[in-house]
Amino acid sequence: MKETKFIEQNKEKWTEFEQMLREKNRDPEKLNDLFIQITDDLSYARTFYPNRSVRVFLNTLAQRIFHNIYKGKRFPVERFRLFWTDELPHVMWQTRKALLLSFSIFLLAFSIGVVSSIINPEFARVILGDGYVEMTIENIEKGDPMAVYKESGPLGMTAGIAANNLFVAFRTAIFGVLASIGTLMIMLYNGIMVGAFQYFFIEKGVFWESFLTIWIHGTLEISAIIIAGAAGLVAGSGLLFPGTYRRVQAFQISMRQGLKIFLGIIPIIILAAIFEGFLTRYTETPDFIRAMFIGVSLFFVLWYFVWLPWFKARRNHFKNPEQARELPPDLHEPIGFEVVKSAGEIFGDTFTVVRRHPRIFWFSCLGASFAFLAYVAFWGSKPMTELFSYPRDPWGVLSGASDFFSNSAAPSLYFFQLLLMGMVTLMAFTAVEKEYFEYEPETDALETAPKTIRKVLISLLVIAAVMPLMILFLRAGVPLIGWLFSMVLYPFLSLWCAILYLETANPITAFVRTFKLIQWGPALVLGFLTVNLGMMFFLFLDTPVWEMTLELFRWMVPPAEGAMAKFSTFVTTLLAALLLYVFYYFLALAGAFQYFSNREVADARKLKKDIENVGLSREIRGLARE
């Protein structure tokens, strides 16, 4: 068909389309139908008229309607309903063996806690702590063994418990990425703790009262932890048992399944926190009502997470096909450097670069970690066991992290740390450059980048500009401000550093340019993800799970006095330093991808380039011109 005939046949439809875009009240169904027709016409034009203006015209129309349809699109209600009625039960059926294994591990650990308490009456103090045990004994003597649930206001208690339990469940699920070992250790610890906790009340002769009180909320809470354990086991199964898939593909599938399971227990955890905050405190409620409440909670868990998946599978009522349908093609696709991206896409690109350039990543982060450890060991005026601490609470983690920058026992540590972080930042940008020039070899967007030595100095300058403020907040005992401050400032800092490295060496010019380019919505999401993910992994260093992990390597430590303490401090400090440099590596990558995405929003380089190349292509009808 000739181009003129093609235009004549469709111009009325295109005119109607443009007129509809100008109207305020548009029929969404009609708009959607027209969009499908326009994209069909665009596909035809791309095939038969690739170098003609009609293709550019249709491409512009398709973009306009796409933004009108999907801008601010809400999450569909039907999609939400299908997740709870079909998708989650389907995943639970597919992962039923992991759920059974998680329950078995918890039951085994529960038994270990009970048997250990029978053998050693002081075992509960080791697990629960002397403070909690003494308080409970005092409450039992007063005739109210469950008084601990009445000490706080219901609303504040509910919020605190929900946040804590969500964090525990998330940590249980996410540590499945460590080949399921992290999840296994957490499940063992939680099971032993619950077993010791329950037997403690049996030993004191108040089993029935404790059972009817604790399991009002504990039924849902412990069930959620077991299911979170299944999510972690599923997440790590892709690495351990890839089957016929490549290991990366299998990991993608297993992580997606684990995430769906975790999302499914979030309402359960919140509901359990509401029960604990508002209902558990009423210990004077008749035993029959409390027992019935526990029974209903247990029935719901078994019905939804066990029976419903089995029933739907038996009747073949699942609407979704196998999970492999969602597996993306295993292609070495280039990262788009001239594409506007969301925060999630930017975050995903950082992992892609790490995966494609592992040598740069491990060389920079591990090298900086060992250099830091050597500096502290040789120049520190105190033993390493006295230099660093790893408190369990999130705010204490921030204060403990500040010791890595400002420590009176290690002279000039701050400046040495700046040097190391500058080198890590430089290596991260080097990985981005490799990716850029590998897939965009003919572009000239990085020609204005400063020389290498200046790049290092610039990285140090930018990091030095913010670190004293962070240390000031942390040392002044204002951890909440430091936490919020870091989530806002670090994305801005990483973008500023990227502009200095990739565009101009003038700090003032780059600072102004950063304000022009930054998109605060995606930037804050990136800040939230990186800061909280880093904090979560840092918290892991002072948990019983990490202590149990270190105990597995006790056989490697000589039996000399204090050798185990030195070994634990050395390994923990090394891992903490590694996490710190990994955090900065990811920040630098996120800053670079922020730069490329935001630059396209502000400068529209790709769009201008496409317009300039209209009619200049060496292809016609899909074949190269001779």
Does 374 lie in the same domain as 269?
no
Q: Which of 325, 358, 385 represents a domain boundary (last residue)? A: 325
Is residue 252 in some structural domain? yes
The verdict on residue 223 lying in a domain is yes
What is the predicted pLDDT for the residue at 29?
Answer: 66
pTM over 0.75: no
| Predicted pLDDT of residue 199 | 92
Report yes or no on 612 lying in a domain: no
When divided into structural domains, the chain yields a total of 3
CB 164 within 8 A of CB 267: no
227 and 321 assigned to the same domain = yes
User: Do 545 and 397 have their domain in common?
Assistant: yes
Instruction: Say if 358 falls within a structural domain.
Output: no
- Enclosing domain of residue 15: 3-73
pLDDT of residue 537: 74
Q: Are residues 201 and 249 in the same domain?
A: yes
* Residues 89, 58 share a domain: no
Contact 590, 346 (CB under 8 A): yes
**pLDDT recorded at residue 365:** 93
- Asked if 210 and 145 touch (Cβ cutoff 8 Å), the reply is yes
**Tokens describing residue 363:** 């060389």
Structure tokens at 150: 């009445």
Tell me if residue 430 falls in helix, strand or coil: helix
**451 and 423: one domain?**
yes
- In DSSP terms, 620 is beta-bridged to 623
Residues 57 and 96 in one domain: no
Q: Is residue 354 part of a domain?
A: no
User: Which residue numbers in the chain have pLDDT < 70?
Assistant: 1, 21-32, 50-56, 63-76, 177-179, 320-333, 388-402, 407, 438-482, 542-545, 548-549, 551-556, 606-626
CA distances, 301 to each of 214, 277, 368, 382 (Å)? 17, 20, 48, 53
If asked whether residues 61 and 95 sit together in one domain, one would say no
Nearest residue to 239 (alpha-carbon basis) of 150, 160, 175, 319:
175
Do 509 and 589 have their domain in common? yes
Q: Is 436 part of a structural domain of the chain? A: yes
Look at residue 486 and tell me if it is in a domain.
Answer: yes
Specify which residues 623 forms β-bridges with: 620
Residue with tokens 């499945």: 176
